[in-house]
Amino acid sequence: MRAIKLEGHINSDRSLHLSLPEGVSEGPAEVIVLVEEGPVGNGQEDLRQFLDDLDRAGIEPRSKEAIDRYIQEERNSWD
């Protein structure tokens, strides 16, 4: 099996169109598609979704003091 790197175009119906070079014979082929990942949301929507997920999971946010205390306890355990 040999690799051929091509540029293609994905249409709105998510079909992929490729043109193969001369000399590629008919038969089975394995296709790997690499696509650019763009931003999914505007950040605020992602944060809101994350916070909503935490609420649904029943996870209580910790205060700054509680986090600082936890970090200090971890540091003390290193000695």
- Residue 45: which domain range? 41-79
Helices (H), the chain: 44-57, 64-77
Number of structural domains the chain divides into: 1
- pLDDT tens readout for residues 19-29: 888 988 888 88
pTM (2 d.p.): 0.37
In a domain, 5, yes or no: no
Mean pLDDT of 29-33: 86
- pLDDT tens readout for residues 39-76: 666 677 788 888 888 888 988 888 999 999 999 999 99
Distance of CA 61 to CAs 66, 70, 74, Å?
10, 14, 19
In a domain, 30, yes or no: no
Tokens of 16: 């992929």
Largest CA distance in the chain: 68
In a domain, 61, yes or no: yes
